[in-house]
Structure 1
Amino acid sequence: MSNPDPTFYRSPGDAVAAPPEHLAYVAAFDPKGAISDAMTVVDVDSTSSSCGQIVGWTDLPGLRDELHHFGWNACSSALCHDNHGHTDNHGHTGNHGHTGGLERRYLVVPGLRSSRIHILDTRPDPSSPRLVHTIEAAELAARAGYSRPHTVHCGPHGLYVSALGGADGADGPGGVALLDHDTFEVVGPWEQDRGPQYLAYDLWWHLAQGVAVTSEWGTPSMIEDGVNAELLLGRKYGHALHFWDLGSGKHLQTVDLGHDNQMVLEVRPAHDPRASHGFAGVVTNVTDLSASVWLWYRDGDGWAARKVITIPPEPADPADLPPVIRPFGAVPALVTDIDLSVDDRWLYVSCWGTGELKQFDVRDPFSPREVGSVRLGGITRRTPHPAAPDEPLAGGPQMVEISRDGRRVYLTNSLYSAWDDQFYPDGVGAWMARLDADVDAGGISPDVRFFPHGADFRGRRVHQIRLEAGDASSDSYCFA
């Protein structure tokens, strides 16, 4: 590839050393479907007079999309074409023969409820994304056999979109659709042999090793109305990791984390392409309401996983709890997002129920060490932000994104509309925060200058964040 996009980084070290981000793209949605969802643009340039303010806004044309996770059309993995000339299972080679034309330009934005996928062009003005293409639900269903698109990752020979549901009203199996880099057409399903995999959620990979990892939540009927107590106590939600051959889409191995560990959500592989480990978050254990983080790693010719972090629930007066957890007399941590810094040193764990973001030193991935914590919101605590000390916050640290240099950590507070309403029935509100991180000794603290919230988001809730020029959860690297 000649003259690649300068925001394609050959190694994690190059990404860390790159200039800091100036803008953040934040998905905003209306859970009632009365107004359109939107992509908001937030100034995150610490030297700017408008830092922490919304400086761009793009309304989408439909209703009830529920913007959730989204990603870039292309990223650092495109550079792997220089190393990996393999052909995928659909006959696509490398990155479609690009010789410098591919760039990190388009945001690929699924609607979790509508199954539409919106393509937003961030050029020529990055603060004013333009809707340039829409993949309708019918195309996703007809060509890939999926619905409810969730996670987007840019690979060296296509765009991978995980999906929770099947086509034509089928509840499953969920899986991964492959999109064309250039046209955004749906190429087809990525899996060629799914083995026992049925439930779906997240997807990422060890790119240099040609191994993909997927996790499990539930089918649309299992999740769309919130947590179903009967399914949860019956151990029916996802509790496994799946390992795949990335190039062929062939299932290689299932690693079951135990049926008591319900809802295996985010997967975060190490960024170092030489590493063979990663972390996965588990929402709750039905026997004791603890949340956990698991490490997967190479074990001979296969893969294994072990629990390396356990986060217990916090006792509470049942009168202070929403009905969904009142019988338990405790607030579960509810680990709903995790993120790993680009240098693979710091792991951040969102405890959405208790309203806490935890920071762990994971230089020894088998023995994480907690070194920092910030409280914001929480089911019972309602901890305010220091910028507005008289405003109790609902929701809690949920989506977490880390700058490439690891010095800034961004948070939003909404999880999923049905869960928001169950766990925060008096209203979850909308807020975004930024934390300053000590990348030498550890420790995190809120940036008191940065707190867009409430009316700033025009009646919408906010979910995932993507940083201009890349962030800790959007890129995979080809070289050490």
Structure 2
Amino acid sequence: MSPSAGTSSQQTDPTFYRSAAEAAAAPTERLAYVVAFDRSGERPDALAVLDVDESSADFAQVVGWVDLPTRGDELHHFGWNACSSALMHAGHDMGPDGLQRRFLLLPGLRSSRVHVLDTQPDPRAPRLHKTIEASELAEKAGYSRPHTLHCGPDGVFLTCLGGADGVDGPGGIALLDHNTFDVLRAWETDRGPQYLAYDAWWHLNQNTLVSSEWGTPSMIEEGIVPELLLGQKYGHQMHFWDLAEGRHQQTLDLGPEHQMVLELRPSHDPDATWGFVGVVISTEDLSASVWRWHREGSDWQVDKVITIPAQPADPDDLPPALKPFAAVPPLVTDIDLSVDDRMLYVSCWGIGELKQYDVSDPAAPREVGSVQLGGIVRRTGHPSAPDEPLAGGPQMVEVSRDGRRVYVTNSLYGAWDDQFYPDGTGAWMAKIDTDPVAGGMTPDRRFFPHGEEFRGRRVHQVRLQGGDASSDSYCWS
């Protein structure tokens, strides 16, 4: 895989950036795409389109809405069919205009379907292009419960939590064709000891894929299972793979007490050999943590670099699952690394806080900003409506390419929402303005779509028009 790979047709999309610096200097996003799901399964899930152009008369409004043709999907993570990594890999031609960042793939975490939406010709009115049925995913790749996807070498990489037809495992990665979106096969050729799955990302120039662990379908379906959590049965490992061959090479165990090793954020510098991963909870003290992986010689290592403690609370203010502990765990459920690799954003969904860390020295993060919204006990209101208590908290985090705007949504996963916010989470989204150099964050008072603007659905993840901090990998320093 050399930087010379590729064809001229691959370079027709202006949102394919050769480097992180080029991406940061590109025009800012004007639209945000947000998946919205109906917890009851009675109405179809949907893709909402929001105007995020600060000079627009429609700023902060839902300007497009697409209902899916099915019900009960529970849209969760989703992503583009193509990104800047396409500049490094041959074989991506798609029609006369070459490969484009055009299609959004929306996996259903409960249904195992994947809906493909075309954002052209009108980006505000995506259209259904194709549906990949659960049966195809099972028959061709042996997987179910698709969770996260990234465009990469050989195809679209789709991580899945379950085995064929919803059996508990092993989970892994399905490979989809870039052009037709047909399921090709399971990506792994030698799984080694890996069984649990969650996220996958890579270091392109090191020919290394990294994967993390959550749990099998039965372990997450109806919320956290206390016996499994206290028995340290959820994921607590990272895996390193040969990217070209799909072969397992190394396992790093963070320790069984560090339960649910979730979001992976590798450095955007393709020559770097480090990244961050978030851990939801420690069974020792209910703290959450962020770890840095890095290469030493031919081996990979991982070190804890951030610890966020639980906060004491009156049991009367806590949901049943937390009353015995008299504390609120931070519950780090997402992290995001700015495109310039300078700022790391950490969502603490339990305590209702988004933290900002300067990671110019990746081995020694410094907290430089914080915003409070929602929270199990705090219920901090948005500055535009400070007296309106918010449920949920900053959960999925997306950072603009220039690092000046952060978008957060408040729902984690239907069953877990109900467990930690039994009175309901509602639905809200916030935009936070940041200082990408010195640090510091301020919620934008003008941007707070919530409630019926999302037509009774909960909102989970955001993708930005033209790319964002968590969906692109770059080929040149």
Is the CA contact (8 Å cut-off) linking 2:144 and 2:164 kept in structure 1?
yes
1:107-256, aligned counterparts within 5 Å?
107-256=104-253
1:73-84, aligned counterparts within 5 Å?
73-81=81-89
Aligned equivalent of 1:64: 72
What amino acid is aligned across from residue 236 of structure 2 in structure 1? H
What amino acid is aligned across from residue 469 of structure 1 in structure 2? G
Aligned equivalent of 2:3: none
Secondary structure of 1:168's match? helix
Is the CA contact (8 Å cut-off) linking 1:79 and 1:478 kept in structure 2?
yes
* Whole-angstrom CA distance in 1 between matches of 2:458 and 2:380: 18
Is the CA contact (8 Å cut-off) linking 2:145 and 2:166 kept in structure 1?
no
Is the CA contact (8 Å cut-off) linking 1:94 and 1:156 kept in structure 2?
no
Deviation of the 1:266 alpha carbon: 0.3
1:359 aligns with 2:356: yes
* Whole-angstrom CA distance in 1 between matches of 2:268 and 2:118: 27
Deviation of the 1:97 alpha carbon: 8.7
Is the CA contact (8 Å cut-off) linking 2:396 and 2:461 kept in structure 1?
yes
Aligned equivalent of 1:378: 375
Deviation of the 1:99 alpha carbon: 8.3
Aligned equivalent of 1:309: 306
Secondary structure of 1:275's match? coil
Is the CA contact (8 Å cut-off) linking 2:134 and 2:165 kept in structure 1?
no
Q: Deviations over 1:257-291 (max 9, x none)?
A: 00000000000000000100000000000010000
Deviation of the 1:168 alpha carbon: 2.8
What amino acid is aligned across from residue 75 of structure 2 in structure 1? L
Aligned equivalent of 2:29: 21
Aligned equivalent of 1:32: 40
1:466 aligns with 2:474: no
1:266 aligns with 2:263: yes
1:436-447, aligned counterparts within 5 Å?
436-447=433-444
What amino acid is aligned across from residue 112 of structure 1 in structure 2? L
What amino acid is aligned across from residue 135 of structure 2 in structure 1? A
Aligned equivalent of 1:5: 13
What amino acid is aligned across from residue 147 of structure 2 in structure 1? H
* Whole-angstrom CA distance in 1 between matches of 2:298 and 2:350: 38
Deviation of the 1:94 alpha carbon: 4.3
Deviation of the 1:156 alpha carbon: 3.2
TM-score, normalised by the number of residues in structure 2? 0.97
What amino acid is aligned across from residue 192 of structure 1 in structure 2? T
* Whole-angstrom CA distance in 1 between matches of 2:204 and 2:429: 31
What amino acid is aligned across from residue 107 of structure 2 in structure 1? P
1:82-121, aligned counterparts within 5 Å?
94-95=91-92, 101-121=98-118
What amino acid is aligned across from residue 376 of structure 1 in structure 2? L
Aligned equivalent of 2:425: 428
* Whole-angstrom CA distance in 1 between matches of 2:402 and 2:93: 31
* Whole-angstrom CA distance in 2 between matches of 1:157 and 1:264: 26
Aligned equivalent of 2:4: none
What amino acid is aligned across from residue 12 of structure 2 in structure 1? P
Is the CA contact (8 Å cut-off) linking 1:396 and 1:413 kept in structure 2?
yes
* Whole-angstrom CA distance in 1 between matches of 2:346 and 2:97: 37
What amino acid is aligned across from residue 107 of structure 1 in structure 2? L
What amino acid is aligned across from residue 260 of structure 1 in structure 2? E
Q: Deviations over 1:37-92 (max 9, x none)?
A: 000000000111111000000000111100000010011000012xxxxxxxxxxx
* Whole-angstrom CA distance in 2 between matches of 1:104 and 1:415: 26
* Whole-angstrom CA distance in 1 between matches of 2:168 and 2:93: 33
Among 52, 63, 67, which residue is 1:55 paired with? 63
* Whole-angstrom CA distance in 2 between matches of 1:365 and 1:327: 36
* Whole-angstrom CA distance in 2 between matches of 1:370 and 1:348: 10
* Whole-angstrom CA distance in 2 between matches of 1:383 and 1:423: 16
For the aligned residue pairs, the C-alpha RMSD in angstroms reads 1.0
Aligned equivalent of 1:387: 384
Secondary structure of 2:165's match? coil
What amino acid is aligned across from residue 137 of structure 2 in structure 1? L
Secondary structure of 1:62's match? coil
Is the CA contact (8 Å cut-off) linking 2:92 and 2:179 kept in structure 1?
no
Is the CA contact (8 Å cut-off) linking 1:180 and 1:187 kept in structure 2?
yes
* Whole-angstrom CA distance in 2 between matches of 1:34 and 1:294: 40
Secondary structure of 1:49's match? coil
Is the CA contact (8 Å cut-off) linking 1:79 and 1:156 kept in structure 2?
no
Which 5+ residue runs of structure 1 have no aligned equivalent? 82-92
Among 294, 297, 302, which residue is 1:297 paired with? 294
* Whole-angstrom CA distance in 1 between matches of 2:55 and 2:141: 45
* Whole-angstrom CA distance in 2 between matches of 1:187 and 1:217: 24
* Whole-angstrom CA distance in 2 between matches of 1:192 and 1:465: 32
Which 5+ residue runs of structure 2 have no aligned equivalent? 1-6
Deviation of the 1:95 alpha carbon: 3.0
State the identity %. Answer: 70
Is the CA contact (8 Å cut-off) linking 2:37 and 2:457 kept in structure 1?
yes
What amino acid is aligned across from residue 66 of structure 1 in structure 2? E
Deviation of the 1:299 alpha carbon: 1.7
* Whole-angstrom CA distance in 1 between matches of 2:274 and 2:432: 27
* Whole-angstrom CA distance in 2 between matches of 1:97 and 1:113: 30
* Whole-angstrom CA distance in 2 between matches of 1:170 and 1:157: 27
What amino acid is aligned across from residue 15 of structure 1 in structure 2? A
What amino acid is aligned across from residue 314 of structure 1 in structure 2? Q
* Whole-angstrom CA distance in 2 between matches of 1:473 and 1:392: 30
1:400 aligns with 2:408: no
What amino acid is aligned across from residue 60 of structure 1 in structure 2? L
* Whole-angstrom CA distance in 2 between matches of 1:391 and 1:169: 40
* Whole-angstrom CA distance in 2 between matches of 1:294 and 1:73: 29
